[in-house]
Amino acid sequence: TLAKKVKEDKMSNLVEEYFEAHSSSKVLTSDRTLQKLQRRLNQQTLHDLLKKAPLAYAAEIKELNQQHESLFSKWMLHLHWGFNIVLYGLGSKRDLLEKFRTSVLQDSVHLVINGYFPSITVRAILNSITEEVLDHTGTFHSPLDHLEFIVKRFKEDSSLELYVLIHNLDSQMLRGERSQQILAQLSSLPNIYLIASIDHINAPLMWDQAKLSLYNWLWYETTTFSPYVEETSYENSLLVQQSGSLALSSVTHVLRSLTLNARGIFRLLARYQLEHKDNPSYPGLSFQDFYQQCREAFLVNSDLTLRAQLTEFKDHKLIRAKRGGDGVEYLLIPVDDSTLTDFLEKEDEDV
């Protein structure tokens, strides 16, 4: 009991620490930001660089995969016994499932669903079942009707068999309650065999008792240690330059396609904004002032042309208009300062 007591003490300590850490909103971290880094990578260079970097422990990982592959026949057996298989563990299980598909499922009807794909929906999955497998073209009012139709068809025709492979069942798009419900009902059909992989640590929270019993999972640990290449390619990392705020490349691309005068207008605004970047209360350039400056630089000849130009920028989300307290319209470029500096430097080189 001594050990138990020690453990209990440890537990209560842990709990106290937790609340201590979460009680104060102050967080002790340094104030450095990524701006200080010399350069930031974008998606493409990142991809290239990673390709160059050798994968560590390739031999061991291969061995690990072979271990998992030896279980394929067992999987098939279990699938035919009415269980569905879920794979968990560290590392991408994509290649493993692909291998399973190519080696075992070659001759049978199977459907692969890339859950990590950011625009996948349950409706698309159901559609692909009805269209490709059941050869039925037609639309349905709701996914429930759709599902009912599929269930009916599969119950009528016992010769139909379908293997469904879902990569990342716990992805953003599929983790909703309703989609899980539909997938669970689908998987409970005796002729549909489901193999899915999960990665998120809280993935099992998606399923309540009813869904679990519909899924009838058999858990398999498949730790592969292989990198999540496909899965993370859609994940917007903080470190990669984000699309939320405009990336430098997109700004330059848009501006390349514009006239010289339009570029000049933008550059003028950018320069003006950079001059005032240290002023936190800088509201932006008012339209009147801007018009004045553009006129002086012979970039526009009338109020209307400038407005037309600005609308074009607004459509590309290059600038944002904001009405100040005095009713005057102020113009801002919603791009962080460093990108803007980079942009100006590049423009100066070009010109």
Partner 1 sequence: QQIQEDLNKQLFDNLVSFLRRSHSEFREKTTEWTFRMKSREIPTAALVLGVNVTDHDLTFRSLSEVLQDNITPYIALLEAKDCPGIKNLMQKLMGQLMNCYIDVDSLEDEDHVQVSHNRIRCSMTSIISWYQNVTKKTDSETPSKKRTSSSRHWQSPPVVVILKDMESFTTKVLQDFIVISSQHIHELPLVLIFGIATSPMIIHSLLPHSVSSLLCIELFQSLSCKEHLSTIIDKLLLTAQFPFKLGEKVLQVLINIFLYHDFSVQNFIKGFQLCIVEHFCSQPLSVLCCPLVDAKKRVNSLSHGQCENIRRLPSFRRYVENQVSEKQILLLTADNFLKEITQKLLEDLHVYHENYVSVLRCLHVFTSSLPKYPLGKQIRELHCACLENQVWETEEYESSLQLARMLNKSDLVTMLQQCVEIFVSSSGKEFDKTVEKLKEFLTQFQELEAEALQERDGSVSAQKELQKKTDLYHLQKTLLELKESRRSKKLTKFEMLRIEVVDYIDSLVRTYLVPADHKTLHEIVYFNTASVLRGHLNAAPRVALHTALNNPYCYLKNQALKSDGGNISNKAPDICIVYKLHLECGRLINLVDWLEAFATVVTAVEGPNADAASLDQVDDIIHARFIRAVSELELLGFIKPSKQKTDHVARLTWGGC
Decide if residue 5 touches partner 1 (CB under 8 A).
no
Among residues 134, 168, 156, 114, which one has the least CA distance to residue 124? 114
Shortest distance, CB of residue 50 to partner 1, whole angstroms? 5
Decide if residue 245 touches partner 1 (CB under 8 A).
no
Decide if residue 37 touches partner 1 (CB under 8 A).
yes
Shortest distance, CB of residue 40 to partner 1, whole angstroms? 9
Decide if residue 21 touches partner 1 (CB under 8 A).
yes
At which residue do the structure tokens 């990198």 appear?
227
> CB under 8 A: which stretch of 202-210, 261-269, 316-324, 341-349 binds partner 1?
202-210
Site residues (CB under 8 A) for partner 1, limited to 41-60:
41, 45-46, 49-50, 52-53, 56-57, 60
Q: Which is nearer to partner 1, 64 or 269 (CB)?
A: 64
Q: Which is nearer to partner 1, 6 or 144 (CB)?
A: 144
Please give the span between the terminal C-alpha atoms of the chain, in angstroms, as a whole number: 79
> CB under 8 A: which stretch of 156-164, 193-201, 305-313, 337-345 binds partner 1?
193-201
Shortest distance, CB of residue 64 to partner 1, whole angstroms? 6
Which residues neighbour 233 within 8 Å (Cβ) at sequence distance 6 or greater? 43, 47
Encoded one letter per residue, x for contact with partner 1 by CB under 8 A and - for no contact, window 143-182 reads -x------------------------------------x-
Site residues (CB under 8 A) for partner 1, limited to 62-121:
63-64, 74, 77-78, 81, 83, 88-91
Shortest distance, CB of residue 207 to partner 1, whole angstroms? 12
Q: Which is nearer to partner 1, 38 or 257 (CB)?
A: 38
Interface with partner 1: number of residues (CB under 8 A): 65
Which residues neighbour 180 within 8 Å (Cβ) at sequence distance 6 or greater? 174, 206, 207, 211
At which residue do the structure tokens 């005057």 appear?
328
Q: Which is nearer to partner 1, 232 or 249 (CB)?
A: 232
Q: Which of 96, 183, 189, 231 binds partner 1 (CB under 8 A)?
A: 231
Shortest distance, CB of residue 286 to partner 1, whole angstroms? 28
**C-beta separation of 117 from 170 below 8 A:** no
Decide if residue 22 touches partner 1 (CB under 8 A).
yes
Shortest distance, CB of residue 48 to partner 1, whole angstroms? 9
Shortest distance, CB of residue 185 to partner 1, whole angstroms? 8
Decide if residue 139 touches partner 1 (CB under 8 A).
no
Task: Give CA–CA dist 156/160, Å, rounded.
Answer: 9
Interface residues with partner 1 (CB under 8 A) are 14, 17-18, 21-22, 27-30, 32-34, 36-37, 41, 45-46, 49-50, 52-53, 56-57, 60-61, 63-64, 74, 77-78, 81, 83, 88-91, 144, 181, 198-204, 209-210, 212-213, 216, 218-221, 223, 225, 227-228, 231-232, 235, 237-240
